[in-house]
Structure 1
Amino acid sequence: MKKLFLIGMLLLSGCAGNRMITPTEIKANQEVKLYLKDGKIDEGLVLERQGEDIVFVSGTDQKVTAIPMSNIRRLEKSQKHFDYEGHLISEAEIKKYRGNKNTWSYAIGGGVIGGAAGLAAGLPIWLANDNPPPLFSAGIGFI
């Protein structure tokens, strides 16, 4: 039983994501938590990378600073989201703009346009007395 538990724990720990970031993985528009060599900890948004410095907007004081990579002790991915001025974006605001409303609108709109195109393509055939049902053509256009 202990071996089964140990195997299960090893499998689950292998699926856990690593929050640590190496300096070469830093990208623009990435939320990070910085552990500086002087003991300070700050979270914010990386605006860009300029050589051996990163331009960082702090989430605590909203100041943009260039931090040399040599001053950074450790980097982690942040669980918080910041805008370009360093203000914290709440989960409620993120949920407000995320969703599948646009997906359904595009799907229904595309279906209507496809159905109309199929009906327009099938209507001349139907009027030519070849007698295929026009709704069949519209259905193929919808798909």
Structure 2
Amino acid sequence: MKNAALIGGGIVVLLGLLYVLSLAGRGPQENLVSPNGLHWHPTMTIYVDGEKQPIPANIGLVGRHYPMHTHIEDVGDGVIHFEFGGKVYRDDLRLKHFFSVWNGMMVENAFGRLNRMLVNGEEITEYGEYVVNQNDAIELFYESSENAQ
């Protein structure tokens, strides 16, 4: 009788543990974008006081190769390379990560005050939290601190 109670209790504990583990694994799987890496080329254009700003080449390639980076040959077109290996989650693709690689800047105040952000022509208010997609065309409109009121 005592052995049956121990076995029954062990089964209940085991089932409870399996249930908790299944819940813990559910969150990351729902946020999984790719199990085998990705290679995307979204574009970004930055304006300060209405003037287009150049994006430097080799962001994320000096000293270390970051998954989000720029190249000499296409940075003039605003291309940002997203080259991730292994599992890629939604959080990995947030715009703030590119700005962090680019001298630790925050999207909201990298070039003054961010007034407007368009992605594929639609206004977005998530700014740094925005999850970049494969063919996104991102436009950021800043007002310099000299012109801010």
What TM-score do the two structures reach when normalised by structure 1? 0.29
What TM-score do the two structures reach when normalised by structure 2? 0.28
The structure whose RCO (Cα within 8 Å, separation 6+) is larger is 2
Q: Flag the structure with larger Rg.
A: 1
